[in-house]
Amino acid sequence: MKAVELSSDPASGFSSRLTQIRTRVAGRLKLGLHSSLTRYGLCRDLTEPLQTPKAKIAITVRRLKERDLAALFTLGDGQPLDERLEVAWRRAFIAKGARRGYVAVDTRTDTPCYVQWLFGADDNDFIAHVGGFPLLASHQALLENAYTPPAYRGLGIMSEAMALIAEHATWIGARDVLTFVDQYNVASLKGCRRAGFYPRLLHHRTRFGFGLITRDSFEVLPEGDPWRTARL
């Protein structure tokens, strides 16, 4: 399926692109000459039963549409840098051709309140191009780039939305769904746990020269590792 594209009128499009460029430069500078991170690779086995967690508002899940982008990814110079980086990264992700995006929608207002992309083994070329994720086997899917607009945070949307979106992986022949979360992002780790995801991998990333050179390695957690069954 064709990827959703960012579009706007010429004037606002130029302003948005300028803000995007400034944000990406600021993000590069923030990385410095050397930086490293560790992420947990979490897995949900779709053959295992799960009681779907519920958000504090009623939501439904559907495919991402172009008309959703304005509500999800507003980018402005007045936003804090970390928030601008979050938005800029997702906009760049879309521009690179990310497909099979899903949104959770606030049923009260029909407003998109969460977004995430689901990839299968047929997306391995794109995954390799983006970097930072392992290539997928035929039975695996990858659920990535979750984003909740500021107005909808703190409502437990992530857990319910992730649980529901992950189930769509069966449509592409997957039974295991992976996702990756920074080791220090406790709130997201707990949200993933409620959505049925347990740690299975460690991803180590090292960047050099303001992120221009990147090295990734993936480590499978051994069966006896307490993190594999930890209640995050």
pLDDT at 214: 84
pTM of the model: 0.83
Q: What tokens appear for 219 in the block?
A: 């480590």
**φ, ψ for residue 134 (rounded to 5)?**
-75, 155
The answer to whether residue 53 sits within a structural domain is yes
- Rounded CA-CA distance 72/149 in Å is 6
pLDDT at 229: 57
Query: In the structure, what pLDDT confidence band is assigned to residue 222 with cuts at 50, 70 and 90?
Result: confident
Q: How many domains does the chain have?
A: 1
Q: Which residue has the higher pLDDT, 98 or 15?
A: 98
The answer to whether residue 166 sits within a structural domain is yes
The answer to whether residue 1 sits within a structural domain is no
The answer to whether residue 213 sits within a structural domain is yes
101-106 and 59-63 beta bridge pairing: antiparallel
With 60 as the cut, is the pLDDT of residue 230 above it?
A: no
pLDDT at 144: 95
Percent of the chain past pLDDT 90, that is, above it, reads 62
The answer to whether residue 159 sits within a structural domain is yes
The answer to whether residue 2 sits within a structural domain is no
C-beta atoms surrounding 65 within 10 Å: 11
CA distances to 17, 25, 150, 194, 223 from 198, rounded to whole Å, are: 38, 35, 26, 9, 12
With 80 as the cut, is the pLDDT of residue 12 above it?
A: no
What's the pLDDT tens digit per position in 41-88?
999 999 999 999 999 999 999 999 999 999 999 877 788 888 888 888
The CATH number of the domain holding residue 179 is 3.40.630.30
Q: Which domain holds residue 16?
A: 10-228
- Rounded CA-CA distance 63/61 in Å is 7
The answer to whether residue 102 sits within a structural domain is yes
pLDDT at 9: 47
Contact 32, 210 (CB under 8 A): yes
Q: At what angle do helices 10-31 and 81-95 cross, to 10 degrees?
A: 110
Q: Whole-number mean pLDDT of the chain? A: 86
pLDDT at 13: 57
What's the pLDDT tens digit per position in 172-197?
999 999 999 999 999 999 999 999 99
Q: Which of 39-48, 89-98, 122-131 has the lowest mean pLDDT?
A: 89-98
Identify the CA nearest to 167 among candidates 45, 58, 63.
45
The answer to whether residue 161 sits within a structural domain is yes
